[in-house]
């Protein structure tokens, strides 16, 4: 393919956004179906005649660009488009995109290896251990991609109409895709090593800059190549979801798509856990060193514990404080470390240390918002510890710096507390939705990183521009700026998004029901 994977992926996701915008502006979702078949950024397909299998000419012709299956001259001249139903054509496009995007991805991986990793100047600059951390097992990843692509190409060669690709995805995910977990789990060390090399080795910085300027890279950075495997395994799951939405219900193709999706979900979760585990362990060690206990010491480091949120709030001094006593502050600083199973309350002391004066299990926390209490008590909430470090109930009146910060703390402290809008997993008929039009990288543990074209249910929102959302394709929750997305206003499109989501995850639901049945027995 003429496009590197980074370009291909960007074009594809931006077209997805435009399709949804068009759908959202129309009364009937079906009216917008042609937009799915004509990407605005698609370039003319190659007119070169080929005696070989029609689809393969696209994969192997470096002059070809961002094409649709139905735009190929061989498909156009075959007359098959007049025979197939519109839904089948959409399904063909979805399967074709999985194949062509893998070809584009393999091309980008090949460039990472041949242009960067095997560069002689770079080899001389990097120590063997540095090169290993930087490139990890990318050769294994590329070999897996090549084998996967060959099997996909062979399937496309079999017939002008693609029979299925999800059975191949399932087979490769089960047998080969564990290499992605190894690569992605190394990401924390990879990023750190790259930053350190740029800082400590001017020669490395110079060579990388020169290699990035090569026309082959099309203006893309070295780091955009390093992150390719993580982006691809996540995107592959979404491509299978797209196929699953278009296959006939209760068909063999639905079964293979569900099986492939389930296995990909397992790999993606393992990748995410691998990244989190590496960063969480280091973070917990760092926090442990900063804490000094005024109360009975609590062991902080645990394999099953991680940080959810930390930050400073203002604590009301108590009932004895009067607003007329100008010599006393109404509030004083308090610092909270909230873990997935524990809350630690501290005061900051000199030397970047924190003195712990109370703690409680996270499951024994309750929160309550104070409303209409005047400006001095704006953004104030009550935090109750049902059982604190002294085995008794304690209450704290806490003030946040903004409405969004208050809501973020309240949802983190008491996650089961009802949000403004109900989660889609409750099978609500309608719920506010938003699609991401600008990518966002989470800055805090309670935030959610967003990719272009992500669709989320809005669970809560604040007046100062933050949204608490739940992403439809993986049910991940978190906060993000409202400026990152556009609200989906058409109720029919929202209902369609939910219906598709339920279908994708119905195998998960049946497993949960079976598990619940076993537990009851």
pLDDT band at 33 (very low <50, low <70, confident <90, very high): very low
- Burial label, 481 (beta-carbon count in 10 A; 0-12, 13-18, 19+): middle
Q: Is the pLDDT of residue 64 over 60?
A: no
pLDDT score for 376: 66
- The proportion of the chain whose per-residue pLDDT surpasses 90, expressed as a percent, equals 64
Helices (H) and strands (E) in the chain, counts: 17, 13
Average pLDDT over every residue of 352-357: 95
Average pLDDT over every residue of 130-150: 97
pLDDT band at 298 (very low <50, low <70, confident <90, very high): confident
Best mean pLDDT range from 48-62, 77-91, 166-180, 373-387: 166-180
Taking alpha carbons only, the member of 450, 459, 443, 441 closest to residue 485 is 450
Q: Is the pLDDT of residue 41 over 60?
A: no
pLDDT score for 516: 44
Strand partners, 435: 455, 486
pLDDT score for 457: 94
pLDDT score for 284: 92
pLDDT score for 490: 92
Whether residue 412 contacts residue 339, with contact meaning beta carbons closer than 8 Å, is answered with no
- H or E element, residue 397: strand 394-399
Model confidence pLDDT, tens digit, residues 156-191 = 989 889 999 999 999 999 999 999 999 999 998 999
pLDDT score for 418: 61
- Please spell the DSSP secondary structure of 164-230, one letter per residue: -SHHHHHHHHHHTTHHHHHHHHTHHHHHHHHHHHHHH-HHHHHHHHHHHHSGGGTT--HHHHHTHHH
Helix-, strand-, coil-residue percentages of the chain, each rounded to 5: 55, 15, 30
Out of 45-59, 166-180, 347-361, 468-482, which region has the weakest mean confidence (pLDDT)?
A: 45-59
pLDDT score for 135: 97
Domains (range + CATH), the chain: 66-285 (1.20.900.10), 294-320+327-413 (2.30.29.30), 424-514 (2.30.30.40)
Average pLDDT over every residue of 55-84: 71
Q: Which of residues 518 and 261 earns the better pLDDT score?
A: 261
Model confidence pLDDT, tens digit, residues 439-473 = 999 999 899 999 999 999 999 999 999 999 999 98
Query: Cα separations (Å) of 424 from 321, 364, 427?
Result: 45, 26, 5
Whether residue 359 contacts residue 343, with contact meaning beta carbons closer than 8 Å, is answered with yes
Place of tokens 């251990």: 129
Q: Give me the chain's average pLDDT, please.
A: 85
Alpha-carbon dihedral angle through residues 409, 414, 420, 425, given to the nearest 10 degrees:
130
pLDDT score for 73: 84
Tokens linked to 433:
């939705």
pLDDT score for 203: 96
Average pLDDT over every residue of 149-155: 96
């Amino acid at each position: 393919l003429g496009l590197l994977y980074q370009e291909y992926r960007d074009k594809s996701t931006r077209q997805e956004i435009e399709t949804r915008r068009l759908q959202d502006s129309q009364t009937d979702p079906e009216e917008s179906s042609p937009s799915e078949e004509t990407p605005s950024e698609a370039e003319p397909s190659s007119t070169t005649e080929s005696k070989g299998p029609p689809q393969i000419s696209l994969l192997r012709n470096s002059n070809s660009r961002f094409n649709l299956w139905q735009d190929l001259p061989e498909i156009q001249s075959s007359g098959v488009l007049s025979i197939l139903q519109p839904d089948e054509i959409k399904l063909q496009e979805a399967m074709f995109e999985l194949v062509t995007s893998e070809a584009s991805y393999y091309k980008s991986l090949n460039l990472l290896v041949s242009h960067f990793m095997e560069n002689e100047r770079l080899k001389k600059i990097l120590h063997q251990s540095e090169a290993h951390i930087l490139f990890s097992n990318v050769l294994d990843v590329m070999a897996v991609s090549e084998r996967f692509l060959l099997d996909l190409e062979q399937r496309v060669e079999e017939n002008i109409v693609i029979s299925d690709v999800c059975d191949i995805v399932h087979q490769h995910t089960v047998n080969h895709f564990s290499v992605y977990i190894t690569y992605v789990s190394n990401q924390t060390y990879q990023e750190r090593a790259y930053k350190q090399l740029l800082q400590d080795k001017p020669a490395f910085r110079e060579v990388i800059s020169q290699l990035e300027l090569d026309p082959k890279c099309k203006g893309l950075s070295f780091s955009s190549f390093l992150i390719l495997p993580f982006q691809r395994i996540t995107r592959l799951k979404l491509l299978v979801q797209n196929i699953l939405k278009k296959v006939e219900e209760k068909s063999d193709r639905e079964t293979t798509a569900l099986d492939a999706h389930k296995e990909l979900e397992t790999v993606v979760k393992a990748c995410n856990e691998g990244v989190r585990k590496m960063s969480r362990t280091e973070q917990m060690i760092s926090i442990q060193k900063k804490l000094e206990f005024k109360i009975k010491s609590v062991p902080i480091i645990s394999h099953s514990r991680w940080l959810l949120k930390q930050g400073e709030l203002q604590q009301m001094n108590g009932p004895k404080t009067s607003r007329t006593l100008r010599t006393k502050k109404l509030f004083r600083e308090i610092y909270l470390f909230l873990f997935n199973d524990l809350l630690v309350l501290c005061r900051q002391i000199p030397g970047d240390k924190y003195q712990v004066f109370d703690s409680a299990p996270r499951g024994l926390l309750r929160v309550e918002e104070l409303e209409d209490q005047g400006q001095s008590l704006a953004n104030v909430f009550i935090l109750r510890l049902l059982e604190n470090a002294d085995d008794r109930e304690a209450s704290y009146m806490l003030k946040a710096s903004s409405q969004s910060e208050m809501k973020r703390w309240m949802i983190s402290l008491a996650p089961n507390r009802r949000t403004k809008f109900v989660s889609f997993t409750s099978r609500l008929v309608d719920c506010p939705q938003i699609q991401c039009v600008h990518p966002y990288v989470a800055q805090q543990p309670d935030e959610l990183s967003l990719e272009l074209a992500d669709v989320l249910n809005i669970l809560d929102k604040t007046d100062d521009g933050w949204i608490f959302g739940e992403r439809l394709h993986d049910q991940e929750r978190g906060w993000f700026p409202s400026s990152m997305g556009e609200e989906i206003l058409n109720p029919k499109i929202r209902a369609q998004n939910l219906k598709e989501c339920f279908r994708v995850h119905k195998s998960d639901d049946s497993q949960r029901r079976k598990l619940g049945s076993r537990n009851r027995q």
